[in-house]
Amino acid sequence: MPLTGKRILIGLSGGIAAYKSAELVRRLKERHAEVRVVMTESAKSFITPLTLQAVSGEPVSDALLDPAAEAGMGHIELAKWADLVLIAPASANTLARLAAGLADDLLTTLCLATPAPVAVAPAMNQQMYRHHATQDNLATLARRHTLVWGPAQGAQACGDVGPGRMLEPMELVALIEQHFAPASQPKAQPLAGVRLMLTAGPTREALDPVRFISNHSSGKMGFALAAAAAELGAEVTLISGPVALVTPTGVQRLDVESAAQMHAAVMAGIDTQHIFIACAAVADYAPKTVASHKIKKTAADTMVIELTKNPDIVANVAALPNKPFTVGFAAETRDVEKYARDKLDRKGLDMIAANNVATAGQGFNADDNALTVFWPTGQTELPLAGKAELARHLITLIAEKYHDTH
């Protein structure tokens, strides 16, 4: 069993989801993991140390300076002991203190002192989760390679509905098992035998032989998705605008320049595809005429360029009689949910991944991104992470929803 002998330190911060942590500890013990528990003072208001001691079979720690520990420094002993530290639930307050690097209690101190990976399972009210401060703190932790597991979306104890529910114990167990899986262990391939086409990068709409209209897309997200899909067994066709990226292993790549060329390439091969992901930042409009020679500067202070609408690739795919499972992207600068849900409904998509490209450090040309994913019956948050990690989460979600409908 992958968890046999693994030393897992479970940290509890204050939150109603703390009641789930007893089940988490029990399930880990069933898998022969060694489990120790650390609690904050707030956590003890929701569940007793005696309960966690009973299910773990070990004393529960809560004191920064423990007279019973060797040299009175229990935090150093625990920090060295752990193979993985998982804070579940991780409250908004605890995330803020971790992001600030505070060490004012046992839990935050051992997170600074441990060489082991640290994971957090956020759990809080949906408005607290959505607050810019919390999102900034999660982004900071992600940049420091803290693993962010969750949260889930749904009804909350306060009566609200939205993102902020802690993942269920068995979901966390699965993530822990995945974390410890040997690198040589074959990966699950839920997309084996599935043909997947996706678009990536920008398009260039020529004005003349030397100038064009384009955008800031680097193609990194689309290429990361192609790589992740290939890892899960899909037969991947990547149709890319002009980018300076290496083709992922096992991916067939077609290069195009303009939106019209991208549309033609997609429609030529879409009939054989099971999944289509429109990740490219396609120009909505192109110049109505392209000058045959370089346009020269004149004495006039202004220039008028007449534009004509480009074909809507993702809408055309979604309108096909036997359409593939169709996923769109929405890169917005405001009202992200409003515009994303409108695009989902108006274009007949099965799923849409939306992000706010006005947020510094994510989206176009950045190495990190964060997404809110919508489908007709639900939504989920994928917090800020490196685009490769984020792509794996998104492709796994797409595979799940695809199989739910096929």
φ and ψ at residue 264, rounded to 5 degrees: -65, -40
Question: How many other C-beta atoms can be found within 10 angstroms of the C-beta atom of residue 300?
Answer: 7
Phi-psi region of 197 (alpha: psi -120 to 50; beta: other; left: phi over 0): beta
What pLDDT shows up at residue 52? Answer: 94
* In the predicted structure, residue 163 carries a pLDDT above the cut 60: yes
Q: How far does Cα 387 stand from its chain's mean position?
A: 8
Q: Which two tokens stand for residue 284?
A: 């909505």
**Following DSSP, what letter does each residue of 7-69 receive, concatenated?**
EEEEEE-SSGGGHHHHHHHHHHHHTT-EEEEEE-TTGGGTS-HHHHHHHHSSPPB--SS-TTS
User: How far apart are the C-alpha atoms of 305 and 308, rounded to whole Å?
Assistant: 10
Q: Which of 58-62, 86-90, 175-179, 217-221 has the highest mean pLDDT?
A: 86-90
Question: How many other C-beta atoms can be found within 10 angstroms of the C-beta atom of residue 196?
Answer: 29
If you search the block for the tokens 């409908």, which residue do you land on?
405
* In the predicted structure, residue 74 carries a pLDDT above the cut 90: no
Cβ–Cβ under 8 Å, residues 30 and 8: no
φ and ψ at residue 379, rounded to 5 degrees: -160, 160
If you search the block for the tokens 């029990």, which residue do you land on?
26
240-279 pLDDT per residue, tens: 999 888 788 889 999 999 999 999 999 999 999 999 999 9
Residues belonging to the active site: 158
334-386 pLDDT per residue, tens: 888 899 999 999 999 999 999 877 666 555 556 678 899 999 998 998 888 77
Angle at 16 between CA 10 and CA 17, to 5 degrees: 45
What's the chain's average pLDDT? 89
What pLDDT shows up at residue 358? Answer: 67
Find, among 241, 212, 229, the residue nearest to 277 by Cα: 229
SS3 129: helix
If you search the block for the tokens 């979604």, which residue do you land on?
318
User: How far apart are the C-alpha atoms of 223 and 220, rounded to whole Å?
Assistant: 5
Q: What is the set of domains in the chain, with CATH numbers?
A: 7-180 (3.40.50.1950), 195-295+302-405 (3.40.50.10300)
Which helix (H) or strand (E) element contains residue 247? none
